[in-house]
Amino acid sequence: MSEAFRMHTTARKALLVALFVFMAACLSGCWDRREIEEIGFVAGLAIDFDSETDDIMVTVQIAKPFAIGRGAPGGGSVGERPFWTVQAQGKTVLDAVAQLTQKSPRPAVWAHNEMVVFGEAFARHGIGDALDFLTRHRESRLRVQPLVVRGFTAAYAAFTTESELNPIPSDALQNTARAAFSRLSITTMTNINEVLQILQTDGVEMLLPAFTLEPVSPEAGTFEGELKRESIAYTARFVGSAVFRQDKLVGFFDLQETRGRQWIVGSAGRAVVVVPHPQAPGQEVSLQVTTSSRKITFHDEGAGPSFRVAVDAAANLGDSDSHIDPLDPEIWTRLEHQLEAAIESEMQSALRKAQLEYSSDVFGFGEYLYRRHPEVWARLGPNWDQVFSTVAVETSVNAELAGPGLVFRGARVER
Amino acid sequence: MSVFVSREISENEISIKSAFGYSTDLVVRIIRSGENPRFSVLIAHIDGLVDKDLVARSIIRPIGMKDTATIEMPPSPAYIYDDLRNRLLESSEVKEATRMADVLLHISSGDCAVIVEGVDSALICSVRSWMTRTPENPTTEPAIKGPKEGFTETIRVNTSLLRRRIRDPRLWIEETVVGEVSKTDIAIVYLKGIANEKVLQEVRERIGRVKVDSLQESGQLEELIEDAPWSLFATVLTTERPDKVAGSLFEGRVAILVDGSPTALVVPATFLQFLMATEDYYQRFTASWFIRLVRGVAFLVALALPSVYVAITTYHQEMLPTPLVLSIAAQREGVPFPAAIEALTMIFFLEVLLEGGVRLPTAVGSAISIVGALILGQAAVEAGLFSAAMVIIVALTAIASFTIPLFSLSNTVRILRIVLTIVSGFLGLFGVAAVLFGLFIHLAAMRSFGIPYFEPLAPVVLPDLKDAITRAPWWAMKQRPELIAHDNVVRIGDDQKPTPPRSPQKPSPAGTVGQQRSSQQKQQKGNASNPDEQQSSSDQRPSSLGPATQKERQPRSRRKSRR
């Protein structure tokens, strides 16, 4: 009897455990379930500052998957744009984003967002709030790329651009920025993760890629929530970079200054530098820089602290207006000197602007001191902003012209 | 009915006839023969199981020709009985039986019983002959490269197929009978000296334990002797291929043949065996290496692809690249079901198609593919009931499951796939991972006739890994599976890797290499330079395998001392 009873209780226990497991699966089940076609994938985010209401205006581009599938790109005038643009205002970024829910039938999913565009007014106001939102949000990725619109066009106007080659503006902008960075070194590439690190580090300021929006039609700038193909109003062009102090925009570098900063920081990739022809006056030669490296040293004797930046660059002959004899060592040396001078002037102009105009250490000299000469940093660090503006930076460039390209004599033959 | 064979021939006649219920295929004949005195002999057999010609020629004629008159003294029945047994019956196999039950068993097995009046013992002549199928290409395990013969329904044919592959007296066959009524012959086949005695004893015990009324197929026996009767995984390997059974015997495994079944059972079985095709051993190892990897991946695809797809698209959209997620979302647009329901329905369609294909005669089989693939698949997508991505996923799953060589495993995968898909619909990748985790625990915990089922992966047996997920070349697989044939593991002689003969003209660079080689090889290399001695060196080759075969017979001393 007792044996049977014990059997009975073990069987009941086993049944109870099985029931609990089953209930755990069922009750917690489907908790996070979101069918893929019922969510709005955010493809781009633009943040503007509305000076009238003192509000933050958030514009979000949400992908319309069904429109992508139907071959919208290049579909002519009948094509439907493969995304939906929606706008909301709020006191903070998250407040504004929350307002979006009132308008969007599909909950916004941020995991696939790759770009955030800041309007100039908002950036001057400080982008800290936006960065805070993007880093604290569970779905948003740290690889989101921040961009700044130069000029007084609203950032959301970036969503009214369209590239013939890429139907999604955020994608097109990103790819263009990447090409400008890697092929010409005239802009910077960064993401929220790097920006966050820079903001948390003393002695370095951030530099974000900047572009302008140029109107393509007189009635540009109309914006009515949803965008039709006819409302394409702007084209985007990268024009250098935006200089920040802390999280506030202080000014812009043009293309040359941006590249000057890239030489100093050592992240310049390839570049095209145009120099005067050494023999034919008024003619130009373009040189294709292939690789470069830099070395920074710090000196603290005599006339106060100073940095020396030595850049090594290798280049090829790109093209020339007039004949160049590659066997003439004199021409070769003069070209190299001219390249050195061009690079050096770019560096100097970037340094001048950063030190005198913006007093923003976008080169990370302070961080260099903090890493390499902590004792100096302990002395200079507390008021680095003033020190940076006055610190002496010597630059020197050693350029090597590696070769004439694929052909020896080329099309410009001296007769 | 008396228990023993009676001296009275008419009593025996009644016993036999009534035992068979006067069945029409039972033939009982009483022959009265000889002069002075006449003697009576009863002949009983079943029509259709015996060679009637042979009965007439080798049993009836000798009895009729027995002329008792020439013998001076009237012969006793015992004399006639002995004479028949020792001299007259022209049958290759004559046995004696005194119990009536044995006589009846032999008659129903296709033997011919000969009972002499006045003797309480019967002579059993083997004259079995019935319709059998010739060995054909095994339909369930076809091979492009490899033997094209498969087992038949006749156990004797099947044992002969094995004998032809292993011409050594150490191929031992133990026969028993299972089935109280069907009395089915069971053969336990193994290689004496290689097979693990413990496994063998376990097989004998488990088969001896079986008490059923009948046994029609080896699948029934499999369910009665397997280790994990509730598991989804089979712990007994089944095969139709004699070459596969022979290969398994050389690994130290034990084969069980069941009369009436073209499928042999092989134990102990390990999980990875179910992913191995016989062909893997006949292709060059480079091909096998690659194909086994493909099959391994296909196994995972067949098992988990629908569930992973469901989990990622409904719970973890951030894991997909943006273009892919948008593409899938575009296809799902307008689909009325959640992805999990969609997947389960598609899988159900697939199962129905598969089962319909198996049951249909081949002549109308092609209709299934047209109706199923074209009409159902395409129309369902066009009607917007299912997304094209889901059709692709399920179709890929189906094709992947066809790569699993053994049907028992693909059946398991079919069930587990549905379980995984349901769980992934509830819990996402977390659920998929949990189920797979439980599955691996289950696999690692199982044993097949004492051998860990997940060997050599868990426990890790390094030498056995050569023939596991991939296959090493034959010349490198020097050992049998260590846990199975642990007394006798060496199977291949040393230096089996073939090398081209070294050119005698260039001794200097070869010399440095040769120094590292064994002296025996150096000698062979020296011989090769002399054409007269080359013959003798090639003569030595077969005899040099001698030590290897001797090693086979004796357990390696190092191994012994370790245990």
Q: Report the alpha-carbon distance of residue A117 to residue A49 in Å, rounded.
A: 12
By C-alpha distance, the chain A residue nearest B338 is A35
Q: Is residue B334 part of a domain?
A: yes
Domain that holds residue B537: 482-562
Q: What is the mean pLDDT of residues A35-61?
A: 89
> C-alpha distances in angstroms, B506 versus B502, B514, B515, B528?
8, 12, 15, 13
User: What is the length of chain A?
Assistant: 415
Same domain, B307 and B430: yes
pLDDT at A250: 94
Q: Angle CA(B124)–CA(B126)–CA(B131) in degrees, nearest 5?
A: 135
Which residues of chain B are within 8 Å of residue A141 when distances are taken between CB atoms?
318
Q: What is the mean pLDDT of residues A5-11?
A: 71
Partner-chain residue, chosen from B332, B427, B431, that has the shortest CB–CB distance to A36: B332
% of chain A at pLDDT higher than 70: 88
Inter-axis angle of helices B339-359 and B362-369, to 10 degrees?
160
Q: Is residue B232 part of a domain?
A: yes
pLDDT of A358-407, one tens digit each?
999 999 999 999 999 998 899 888 888 888 998 999 999 999 998 888 88
Choose among A190, A245, A261: nearest CA to A253.
A261
Q: What is the mean pLDDT of residues A179-191?
A: 86
Which residues have C-beta within 8 Å of that of residue A333, sequence separation ≥ 6?
none
Report the range of poorest mean pLDDT among B164-178, B343-357, B430-444: B343-357
Element housing A274 (H / E): strand A271-276
Closest approach of B425 to chain A, Cα-based (Å): 7
pLDDT at B548: 41
Q: Report the alpha-carbon distance of residue B398 to residue B440 in Å, rounded.
A: 23
Domain count, chain B: 4
Closest approach of A65 to chain B, Cα-based (Å): 4
Q: What is the mean pLDDT of residues B221-238?
A: 93
Q: Is the pLDDT of residue B520 over 70?
A: no
CATH architecture, range A257-403 = 2-Layer Sandwich (3.30)
Q: Is the pLDDT of residue B552 over 70?
A: no
pLDDT at B1: 59
Q: Is the pLDDT of residue A100 over 60?
A: yes
Question: Hey, are the CB atoms on A35 and B339 less than 8 Å from each other?
Answer: yes
**Chain B 279-338, CB below 8 Å of chain A: which residues?**
313-315, 317-318, 322, 325-335, 338
Q: Considering chain A, what is the average pLDDT of its residues? A: 84
CA-based end-to-end distance of chain A: 119
Same domain, B293 and B440: yes
In this predicted model, which residue has the larger pLDDT, B438 or B545? B438
Q: What is the mean pLDDT of residues B182-199?
A: 92
pLDDT at A28: 63
pLDDT of B99-154, one tens digit each?
999 999 999 988 999 998 888 889 999 888 888 888 888 888 888 888 999 999 99
B431 touches chain A (CB under 8 A): yes
B243, B142 Cβ separation under 8 angstroms: no
Dihedral over Cα of A116, A117, A122, A124: its sign: positive
In this predicted model, which residue has the larger pLDDT, B86 or B525? B86
Q: Is the pLDDT of residue B208 over 80?
A: yes
Closest approach of B375 to chain A, Cα-based (Å): 23
pLDDT at A187: 84
Which of residues B418, B445, B472 is at a domain's end?
Answer: B445
Report the range of poorest mean pLDDT among A171-185, A387-401, B258-272: A171-185
Q: Is the pLDDT of residue B178 over 50?
A: yes
Query: Does ipTM surpass 0.95 in this model?
Result: no
Q: Is residue B192 part of a domain?
A: yes
Question: Hey, are the CB atoms on A37 and B327 less than 8 Å from each other?
Answer: no
A68 touches chain B (CB under 8 A): yes
B433, B445 Cβ separation under 8 angstroms: no
| Cα B413 from chain centre | 21
Dihedral over Cα of A37, A39, A42, A46: its sign: positive
Q: Is the pLDDT of residue B9 over 80?
A: yes
Same domain, B275 and B300: no
% of chain B at pLDDT higher than 90: 45
Report the range of poorest mean pLDDT among A7-21, A114-128, B409-423, B459-473: A7-21
A28 touches chain B (CB under 8 A): yes
Is residue B456 reached through a cis peptide bond, with omega within 30 degrees of 0 on the bond before it?
A: yes
Q: Which residues of B457-488 are buried (b: 16+ CB within 10 A; e: fewer)?
A: beeebeebebbbebbbeeeebbbbbbbbbbbb
By C-alpha distance, the chain A residue nearest B326 is A65
Q: Report the alpha-carbon distance of residue B322 to residue A292 in Å, rounded.
A: 34
By C-alpha distance, the chain A residue nearest B324 is A65
Q: Report the alpha-carbon distance of residue A172 to residue A180 in Å, rounded.
A: 12
Same domain, B336 and B276: no
pLDDT at A146: 93
Residue ranges per domain, chain A? 36-253, 257-403
Report the range of poorest mean pLDDT among A392-401, B171-180, B240-249, B541-550: B541-550
In this predicted model, which residue has the larger pLDDT, B527 or B372? B372
Which of residues B423, B445, B467 is at a domain's end?
Answer: B445
Q: Is the pLDDT of residue B538 over 50?
A: no
pLDDT at A214: 84
Report the range of poorest mean pLDDT among A23-32, A191-200, B115-124: A23-32
A66 touches chain B (CB under 8 A): yes
Question: Hey, are the CB atoms on B315 and A33 less than 8 Å from each other?
Answer: yes
pLDDT at A289: 92
Same domain, B418 and B296: yes
Q: Is residue B461 part of a domain?
A: no
Choose among B330, B322, B325, B429: nearest CA to A143.
B322
Q: What is the DSSP letter of B507?
A: H
Tokens of B131: 């319709």
Which residues of chain A are within 8 Å of residue B423 when distances are taken between CB atoms?
25
Q: Is residue B456 part of a domain?
A: no
A56, A129 Cβ separation under 8 angstroms: yes
Q: Is the pLDDT of residue A229 over 80?
A: no
Q: Is the pLDDT of residue B346 over 70?
A: yes
pLDDT at A221: 47
pLDDT at B481: 87
Q: Report the alpha-carbon distance of residue B357 to residue B367 in Å, rounded.
A: 9
Q: What is the mean pLDDT of residues B505-510?
A: 53
Q: Is the pLDDT of residue B514 over 60?
A: no
Q: Report the alpha-carbon distance of residue B12 to residue B4 in Å, rounded.
A: 9
pLDDT at A3: 60
Which of residues B395, B422, B445 is at a domain's end?
Answer: B445
Which residues of chain A are within 8 Å of residue B339 when distances are taken between CB atoms?
35-36
| Cα A291 from chain centre | 21
Amino acid in the structure at residue A245: R
pLDDT band at B90 (very low <50, low <70, confident <90, very high): confident
Q: Is residue B119 part of a domain?
A: yes
Q: Considering chain B, what is the average pLDDT of its residues? A: 84
In this predicted model, which residue has the larger pLDDT, A395 or B377? A395
Q: What is the mean pLDDT of residues B224-247?
A: 93
DSSP line for A132-179: HHHHHSSS--TTPEEEEE-SSS-GGGGGGB--SS-SSHHHHHHHHHHH
pLDDT band at A192 (very low <50, low <70, confident <90, very high): very high
Q: Is residue B470 part of a domain?
A: no
Q: What is the mean pLDDT of residues A63-67?
A: 83
Q: Is residue B145 part of a domain?
A: no
**Chain A 93-152, CB below 8 Å of chain B: which residues?**
109, 111-112, 114, 139, 141
